[in-house]
Structure 1
Amino acid sequence: MAETQREFDIVLYGATGFVGRLTADYLARAGGGARIALAGRAPDRVLAVRDSLGEAAKDWPILTADAASPSTLNDLAARTRVVVTTVGPYAKYGLPLVAACAAAGTDYADLTGETNFIRDSIDLYHQQAADTGARIVHSCGFDSIPSDLSVYALYRRAQDDRAGHLLDTNMVLRAMSGGVSGGTTASMLDLLTSSSNDPELRRALEDPYTLSPDRAAEPELGGQKDVRWRRGAEIAPELAGHWTGAFAMAMPNSRIVRRSNALLGYAYGRRFAYGEQMSVGRSVAAPVLAAAVTGANALTMGLGSRYFKHLPRTLIDRVVPKPGEGPSEAARDRGHYTVETYTTTETGARYRATFAQKGDFGYKATSVLLGESALSLALDRDALSPLTGVLTPAAAIGDALLTRLPAAEVDLRTERLS
């Protein structure tokens, strides 16, 4: 973004949604003097959110903006350095705001895990954003910062040790307590509906490099399936005795990580291979559980993407959480997650990155990650990547986040194993 004076450092769009309110609350506590405004299509509701945030937010301006009115989004983008948005499903509501930020040279951060939306954002607005100096940074929540930043931290560690490029790299979700937000569920249902109706989209989503800036330049590497179950020892000796199954968010996360590698000039390596899975423990029942988890994910991602349109949406909508709904504060505080990412480099060195955070991953933890991403874009200008366009968290704000996250009680550490 051109360093011209803007009225605000950050505008939070979607402040009345459940995760939007949590993000507003986090910014009020951790904003560090940033000039912040709140935006939404119902000013009275936005004002009520602001009034609940306490003294730090009492003077935050209220802006009216609506995805159905592009002129309001254009005005919003022109007034701020950074727009952070929680308004989804993004494939349905997100592109007009991306367009406004790309045109205005305004940085942008969201929570999307919708690979189809990110692909559309790249195709339509990457070049314009690159030309105006905007950083359009998708997937700044639980999807996909733990994945993206863990690999980036491993790359930095191996680089410091002169251990060579990364080769086989695997993220393993070791522990999790919490729930998927209503907004995330709505996005997943929207994606299943779209892919069920569009065979070409379904094929694109199955491509491990569908977010690559240059698909023809990508290596054809095996072992990058999104749905598989494995013995832990196949990933790393430290996981001997454990079993792993498919992780539901492997598809969007892995494509973000691979795009990061490409955007960074293949800094991780031309033979970098990446996969994600979740640990199901080491009990006698673990192999069966791993197979069951993987099978359920395969049905959802495979048969679900083909036949979802034939399922009764009224029944589905009745049992899944709605956008704007969420757990109690006590339940959010009880949540937590830990992921471990293992890699081997071309010199034979082995490393592990551990990324852990307290708080429900779909709500409290995600709002912290999104808030810190926005603050990085707004306040840490000297630490940002020189890259512009449609980016990933690692490619845009990797170094800034590595510095910021410990103060936000996010534990990210790397260690050499051999």
Structure 2
Amino acid sequence: MSDRELDVVVHGATGFTGRLVARYLLDHAPAGTRIALSGRSRERLAQVGEGLGPAGADLPLLVADSHDDDALADLAARTRVVATTVGPYERHGLPLVRACATAGTDYVDLTGEVLFMRASIDACHAAAAHSGARVVHACGFDSVPSDVGVHLLATTAAAHGLGRLEETRFLMTGAAGGVGGGTVATAQGVVERLASDPDARRVALDPYALSPDRAREPDRTVDAPPGDGPDPWGVRWDAVTGRWLAPYVMGVVNSRVVRRSNALTGWSYGRGFRYEEAIAVPGRVVGAPVAAAVAAGTLAGAAAFAVPPVRRLLDRVLPEAGTGPDEASLHEGWFAARLHARTTSGRVVEAVLRSPGDPGYVSTARMLGEAALALVHDRDRLPDRAGVLTPATAFGDVLLRRLRAAGVTFRAL
């Protein structure tokens, strides 16, 4: 792809998150990186570019609607990498994936939609593998911390001769940030689809929904051990960490991505790998009601989106599409997490993660930006894989090093 005129195109640059990604790339890309903005309106793209300062005003502008196959094919043919923030992805994303898979163009996005990722795998994995394209979903807050964090646990265990991973947990220990209109619209669309479509619900609730070889994955039952059963929605005390565990709403997405990484690498984490995610609340006594409140709020939120009258009421008060947190919230936000795994040797490996900035926006723009830059500038150091991939299988240690250099803590204990 060295003969292409552009290195990275930010598709959806006129949206709230798209502007943040464009800003990140302008601030952090090595000199000479050829960046362009893409979206439906040339006028709005020009306004975004001017808002990014002198360097932004000179960026090339590509007009492409997410459902215009010819425009998307032209976009994909002109660049080495497409970074897209246009969601909900199930509604708008597949034509661009197809265009990139056909053209051999690398692709990264921010999706947290299991149904879209499954559709992308079914429709485009073979074509991308044939063309050499790396199509990498979930390159933001969902699911880089989880996926790269487990990769760190596995490589740490291997480096110290501790064997492979067995029971593994990702625990969100703290976070602060806002919610934007795009996130709300995606969540609403997912809940509506699951409430009305039994087949979609069956796929989304399958813990191995994204596996490349579902038949070789274990059957899961309600009596399975922790990390090997249905997604945990209750509140429970965890003696290992000394914390109450409450359901983490994005665990139903991140866990599927992590399990796909294990399968794509020939089950390198282990055939006995079991994985779950939760929110960890400290305090044996005071933590119990907090964890219960988190669980109740999570279930109530999902139910509210599924009930049309309540959903219409929420539409009046929740953020509109294209909006996001204010500047202060963006920079005051943060998140922290802890991972631990028991290995086949009986020993435990642990890691901690921490990232400054609003998780869904500042951290996400950082993660997507570094993923795109890795595809441009570190391609010869990436794992030798193509197709529809995950962050861990597409980037391995390369993204880990990039994020550390960008201020994100990924530390094995």
Q: 1:196 to 1:311 in 2, by over 3 A?
A: farther
* Mean CA deviation greater in 250-259 or 279-288: 279-288
What is the match of residue 60 of structure 2?
61
1:353 is displaced (CA, Å) by 1.2
- Alpha-carbon distance between aligned partners in 1 of 2:144 and 2:282, rounded to the nearest angstrom: 24
Question: 2:276 is aligned with what amino acid?
Answer: G
- Alpha-carbon distance between aligned partners in 2 of 1:282 and 1:220, rounded to the nearest angstrom: 35
Asked whether the equivalents of residues 196 and 309 of structure 1 are also in contact (C-alpha less than 8 Å), the reply is no
What is the match of residue 284 of structure 1?
285
Tell me the TM-score normalized by structure 2. 0.94
1:314 is displaced (CA, Å) by 2.4
- Alpha-carbon distance between aligned partners in 1 of 2:256 and 2:235, rounded to the nearest angstrom: 19
- Alpha-carbon distance between aligned partners in 1 of 2:199 and 2:297, rounded to the nearest angstrom: 23
Question: 1:252 is aligned with what amino acid?
Answer: V
1:181 is displaced (CA, Å) by 2.8
Question: 2:400 is aligned with what amino acid?
Answer: L
1:73 partnered with 2:69: no
Asked whether the equivalents of residues 25 and 369 of structure 2 are also in contact (C-alpha less than 8 Å), the reply is yes
1:190 partnered with 2:189: yes
What is the match of residue 160 of structure 2?
161
What is the match of residue 261 of structure 1?
262
What is the match of residue 24 of structure 1?
22
Tell me the TM-score normalized by structure 1. 0.93
1:352 is displaced (CA, Å) by 1.1
Asked whether the equivalents of residues 229 and 244 of structure 1 are also in contact (C-alpha less than 8 Å), the reply is yes
What is the match of residue 97 of structure 2?
98
Question: 2:139 is aligned with what amino acid?
Answer: C
1:217 partnered with 2:223: no
What is the match of residue 6 of structure 1?
4
Question: 1:232 is aligned with what amino acid?
Answer: D
- Alpha-carbon distance between aligned partners in 1 of 2:329 and 2:97, rounded to the nearest angstrom: 33
Q: What CA deviation, in whole Å up to 9, does each residue of 1:334-388 have, x standing for no partner?
A: 1000010111100012111111100011111111111111111111101212111
Correspondent of 1:375 among 368, 373, 376: 373
- Alpha-carbon distance between aligned partners in 2 of 1:330 and 1:298, rounded to the nearest angstrom: 29
- Alpha-carbon distance between aligned partners in 2 of 1:162 and 1:333, rounded to the nearest angstrom: 40
Question: Which SS does the other structure have where 1:363 is aligned?
Answer: helix
| CA root-mean-square deviation | 1.6
Count of residue pairs brought into register by the alignment: 405
Question: 1:272 is aligned with what amino acid?
Answer: F
Asked whether the equivalents of residues 142 and 361 of structure 1 are also in contact (C-alpha less than 8 Å), the reply is yes
What is the match of residue 81 of structure 2?
82
What is the match of residue 355 of structure 1?
353
Question: Which SS does the other structure have where 1:190 is aligned?
Answer: helix
Contiguous gaps of at least 5 residues in structure 2: none
1:39 partnered with 2:19: no
Asked whether the equivalents of residues 51 and 57 of structure 2 are also in contact (C-alpha less than 8 Å), the reply is no
What is the match of residue 325 of structure 1?
323
Q: What CA deviation, in whole Å up to 9, does each residue of 1:217-241 have, x standing for no partner?
A: 01236323322322132xx3xx22x
Question: Which SS does the other structure have where 1:277 is aligned?
Answer: strand
1:269 is displaced (CA, Å) by 0.3
- Alpha-carbon distance between aligned partners in 1 of 2:180 and 2:156, rounded to the nearest angstrom: 33
- Alpha-carbon distance between aligned partners in 1 of 2:307 and 2:42, rounded to the nearest angstrom: 36
- Alpha-carbon distance between aligned partners in 2 of 1:334 and 1:370, rounded to the nearest angstrom: 20
Q: What CA deviation, in whole Å up to 9, does each residue of 1:156-187 have, x standing for no partner?
A: 11111111000000011011000233212211
Correspondent of 2:236 among 195, 205, 230: 230
Contiguous gaps of at least 5 residues in structure 1: none
* Mean CA deviation greater in 260-269 or 4-13: 4-13
What is the match of residue 270 of structure 1?
271
What is the match of residue 405 of structure 2?
407
What is the match of residue 388 of structure 2?
390
Question: 2:44 is aligned with what amino acid?
Answer: R
1:312 is displaced (CA, Å) by 4.5
- Alpha-carbon distance between aligned partners in 1 of 2:314 and 2:105, rounded to the nearest angstrom: 38
Question: Which SS does the other structure have where 1:189 is aligned?
Answer: helix
1:283 is displaced (CA, Å) by 6.0
Which residues in structure 2 correspond to 1:140-159 (within 5 Å)?
140-159=139-158
1:346 partnered with 2:344: yes
Q: 1:283 to 1:320 in 2, by over 3 A?
A: farther
Question: 1:256 is aligned with what amino acid?
Answer: V
1:280 is displaced (CA, Å) by 2.4
- Alpha-carbon distance between aligned partners in 2 of 1:299 and 1:52, rounded to the nearest angstrom: 39
1:298 is displaced (CA, Å) by 4.2
- Alpha-carbon distance between aligned partners in 1 of 2:234 and 2:269, rounded to the nearest angstrom: 24
Question: Which SS does the other structure have where 2:359 is aligned?
Answer: coil
Which residues in structure 2 correspond to 1:301-316 (within 5 Å)?
308=306, 310-316=308-314
Asked whether the equivalents of residues 98 and 125 of structure 1 are also in contact (C-alpha less than 8 Å), the reply is yes
- Alpha-carbon distance between aligned partners in 1 of 2:284 and 2:348, rounded to the nearest angstrom: 27
* Mean CA deviation greater in 7-16 or 378-387: 378-387
- Alpha-carbon distance between aligned partners in 2 of 1:253 and 1:299, rounded to the nearest angstrom: 21
Asked whether the equivalents of residues 81 and 105 of structure 2 are also in contact (C-alpha less than 8 Å), the reply is yes
What is the match of residue 174 of structure 1?
173
Question: 1:31 is aligned with what amino acid?
Answer: A
- Alpha-carbon distance between aligned partners in 1 of 2:364 and 2:180, rounded to the nearest angstrom: 10
1:211 is displaced (CA, Å) by 0.6
- Alpha-carbon distance between aligned partners in 2 of 1:133 and 1:309, rounded to the nearest angstrom: 44
Asked whether the equivalents of residues 304 and 310 of structure 2 are also in contact (C-alpha less than 8 Å), the reply is no
Asked whether the equivalents of residues 173 and 278 of structure 1 are also in contact (C-alpha less than 8 Å), the reply is yes
1:139 partnered with 2:138: yes
Asked whether the equivalents of residues 383 and 399 of structure 1 are also in contact (C-alpha less than 8 Å), the reply is no
Percentage of pairs with the same residue? 47
What is the match of residue 112 of structure 1?
111
- Alpha-carbon distance between aligned partners in 2 of 1:298 and 1:334, rounded to the nearest angstrom: 28
Question: Which SS does the other structure have where 1:362 is aligned?
Answer: helix
